[in-house]
Amino acid sequence: MLNRYPWWKNLIIALVVVVGLLYALPNVFGEDPAVQVLPNRGAELQVDVLDRVEATLGEAGLSTRGVELGDGRLLVRFKDTEDQLKAADLIERSLGSGYTVALNLASSTPSWLKAINAIPMYLGLDLRGGVHFLMEVDMVAAVQQAEENYASEIRNLLRGARIRYQGVVRNPAGGVTITLRDAADLERTRQLLNDDLSGLSLEVDEGTRRVVATLTEEEQEARRRFALSQNITTLRNRVNELGVAEPLIQQQGLNRIVVQLPGVQDTARAKDILGATATLEFRMVDEEHDAREAASGGRVPPGARLYRERNGEPILLQRQVMLTGDYITDASSGIDQQSGGPAVFITLDGRGASRFSNATKDNVGKLMGVVFIERRTETRIVGEETQKISSTLEEVINVARIRERLSKRFQITGLDGTNEARDLALLLRAGALAAPVEIVEERTVGPSMGQENIDQGFRAVLVGFALVLLFMAVYYRVFGLAADLALAVNLVLLVALLSMLQATLTMPGIAGIVLTVGMAVDANVLIFERIREELRVGNSPQASIDAGYAKALSTIADANITTLIAALVLFMFGTGPIKGFAVTLSIGIVTSMFTAIMGTRALINLIYGGKRIEKLAI
C-alpha cells in the first residue's frame, strides 16, 4: 500500500527522537559557580582537606550548595560568583602551595543522566563556561637560562680546545665568568669565544686570569622573544593534550600570554598543567662517596651534587648531565610489567638517542638517577607588599642499575601514582617551557555578558523558529504542521549531537543554528510544492504524496550536499569562531535531512497513509 512505513522504520525514527531528547535534556539544567581543589603533581588528595575547607568556609560564613569529593579532586559549589571568588582566596590561603585551587563552572545535570554519559554541550567564552588565564613570562629567568646554556657551551669549547680552566660559572648579577689556570690562554679563549659563540660581549682581566662574558642587548632581546614564542607553542601543545575544543592562546604585550579555555570542567588540572615548568635530567650516581656523610658534614665531593630522594634519603649524583628532557619527542604513561607500578615510557629524537647510547654503553652495571625538576613562581603577600617568589624543586624520582646499553626508547618508574605519571608524560610530550610562567589573572567570563549573549542568541533562534512555524502552518496547513513538528525535533537532535560530540557552542555557532532553522524547511517546501504540482495534473492524493517525496529527493540532496561541502571547507580552513559556525551548520544539515525527509514522511504516513482520501490539506 502507498505511503505506509514498515514498523521497524517507525521504530528507528522513534528511537532516534527519544535518544535525542535524552541527550539534549542536560542543557536545560544550569551550572553552579564552583571552586575546585586538586593536589599538585598528581599526588593523592589528603582525607583532612575536606574538613579544612569546610572549617575555613564556616569561619567566613560562606554557605555552599554542595561539596563533592572524588576522582582525586574536591569540588565546592556556590550560589553565585561573589561567594565563589571569596571562597577561592580563602581556600588557597588555608591549603597553601601543596594544592592547586581553581575556579570552575560545575554542571547541575542529574546523576541519572550522567550515568548514561548525557552531559551538556560546552559553551564558548563569549557565552559562558570557560576560564581565562593571563600568564606572565619570567623574562629574567629566560635570560638566566640563556646564560646557563652559554656556560655549558663554553665548558665544552674549552675542553675541546684543551684549554685548562678553574671554573665557568654564571654570576648572580648576570654574565658568565671564566677563570683560567694560565694567563697565556686568555687571548686564545677570547678568540675562541668570538669565533664560535655570537651574542656575547667579552671583558678580559689579565690580573685575575678571567674572561667575563655578558649577553649583548640584542641577544637578551632575542632570548626574551624566543622564550615568549616557545612558551606559546608549548602551552598550545599542552592545551591540545588536555583535549580542549577551540582554545585561544595568543600574545599580549611583550611578556604576557592570554589563554582562554572554553568549556573546561577540570580547571584545576588545566591550571596546574599550564603553569608547570617540569623536565628531567639523567645523571650517573656517584658510588665512590658516602651520601650520608656528605649530607651531615656539608662537604660535597668535587664533581658531584647532593640530592634527596622522595623518601628523604640523600644521594650523590655526578655533576655531568647525561641527558635532559629537551631530547624527548614522545612520552606516554602506563604500568611497569615487572613492578606493577606506574611508569612513563619515553622516546628520544635522533640526537638524544645517540647521546644516551654513548653515555650508557660505558656504564653498564652502574647506577643511574633520574632527577625531576619543577620550577614555580608564586605571588605572596608579605606585610603590605606583594612579592613574587620563585622556587625550584629538584628530587631524584628513580635510581636504577643500567642493565644494557640504552637508546631511543626506555622507561622510568618511581612515580607517586598514575596521576603523576599521566601529568609528567603530558608535560614531557608537550615540551618544556622556555621560561617559568605565572598566572597573574584567572577568571571566568562575567555572568552578565555571558547571560546577555545567551539570551540574545536564543531569542534570535526562538523568533526565527516562531516565524518559520507560523508561515509553514498558514501556507501548508496540515503538511506545514508536520514540518513544524519535524523542525522542533531537528533542533532537539542538533542540540543532542552537539552535546554528544562535546562541541563548543559560540555566538557564531548560534548563528549557524539560526541559519539551520531557516534552511531546515527548504526540503519540505520542495516536497510540498511537488505534491501540489502532482495534484494539479490530476494525480490521486496518495500518488501525489508518494511522487512528491520521490521526485524532490534528488534536488534536496544536491542542495544540501553543496551546502555541506561549503561548511566542511569552512571547518577545514577556518579558525575559532568560523569553525564553530561550520560545526553547527554541518550538523544542522544532516539532522534537517533526516527530519525533513524521513520525519515528515512518517507523520504524513500516519495521518494519510493507507486511507481513502479525496483531498489533501496542503
Q: Give pLDDT tens digits for 146-168.
A: 888 888 788 888 888 888 888 88
Residue 566: is it exposed, middle or buried by C-beta count within 10 angstroms (0-12/13-18/19+)? middle
Residue 220 backbone phi and psi in degrees, to 5? -65, -40
Average pLDDT, rounded, for the chain: 82
Per-residue pLDDT band for 446 (boundaries 50, 70, 90) equals very low
Secondary structure E strands in 288-436: 304-308, 314-324, 328-335, 342-348, 367-382, 385-401, 409-412
Question: CATH top-level class for 7-25+447-608?
Answer: mainly alpha
Angle at 306 between CA 305 and CA 308, to 5 degrees: 140
Fold of 279-415: Gyrase A; domain 2 (3.30.1360)
Name which residue leads in pLDDT, 597 or 378. 597
**Predicted pLDDT at 246:** 58
Per-residue pLDDT band for 93 (boundaries 50, 70, 90) equals confident
Q: Distance between CA atoms of 260 and 122, rounded to whole angstroms? A: 13
Mean pLDDT of 23-34: 87
Q: Which three cell numbers stand for residue 388?
A: 613574587
pLDDT digits (tens, 9 = 90+) for 508-561: 888 888 788 777 788 888 889 998 998 888 888 888 888 888 888 888 888 888
pLDDT digits (tens, 9 = 90+) for 261-288: 775 656 666 777 776 666 778 889 998 8
Output the DSSP codes for 511-577: HHHHHHHHHHTHHHHHHHHHHHHHHHTT--HHHHHHHHHHHHHHHHHHHHHHHHHHHHHHHHH--TH
Residue indicated by cell numbers 501525489? 544
- Range(s) of the chain covered by CATH 3.30.1360.200: 279-415
Q: Which three cell numbers stand for residue 376?
A: 614555580
pLDDT digits (tens, 9 = 90+) for 293-333: 888 888 888 888 899 887 888 999 998 888 877 777 778 88
Q: Distance between CA atoms of 386 and 382, rounded to whole angstroms? A: 6
For residue 203, give the 3-state DSSP assignment.
Answer: strand
The reported pTM is 0.56
CATH of 140-218, one of 3.30.1360.40, 3.40.960.10, 1.10.287.130, 1.20.120.1200: 3.30.1360.40
Per-residue pLDDT band for 375 (boundaries 50, 70, 90) equals low
Angle at 244 between CA 249 and CA 86, to 5 degrees: 80
- Range(s) of the chain covered by CATH 3.30.70.260: 31-107
**Predicted pLDDT at 326:** 73
pLDDT surpasses 50 at 448 = no
- Range(s) of the chain covered by CATH 1.20.1640.10: 7-25+447-608
Per-residue pLDDT band for 379 (boundaries 50, 70, 90) equals low
Return the CATH number of the domain spanning residue range 31-107: 3.30.70.260
**Predicted pLDDT at 381:** 58
**Predicted pLDDT at 489:** 92
Cβ within 8 Å of residue 10, ≥6 positions away: 602
**Predicted pLDDT at 383:** 61
For residue 402, give the 3-state DSSP assignment.
Answer: coil
Q: Distance between CA atoms of 318 and 282, rounded to whole angstroms? A: 10
**Predicted pLDDT at 451:** 62
Per-residue pLDDT band for 447 (boundaries 50, 70, 90) equals very low
**Predicted pLDDT at 229:** 87
pLDDT surpasses 90 at 107 = no
Cβ count near 23 (within 10 Å): 24
- Range(s) of the chain covered by CATH 3.30.1360.40: 140-218
pLDDT digits (tens, 9 = 90+) for 222-250: 889 888 888 888 888 777 666 565 577 88
Name which residue leads in pLDDT, 104 or 342. 342
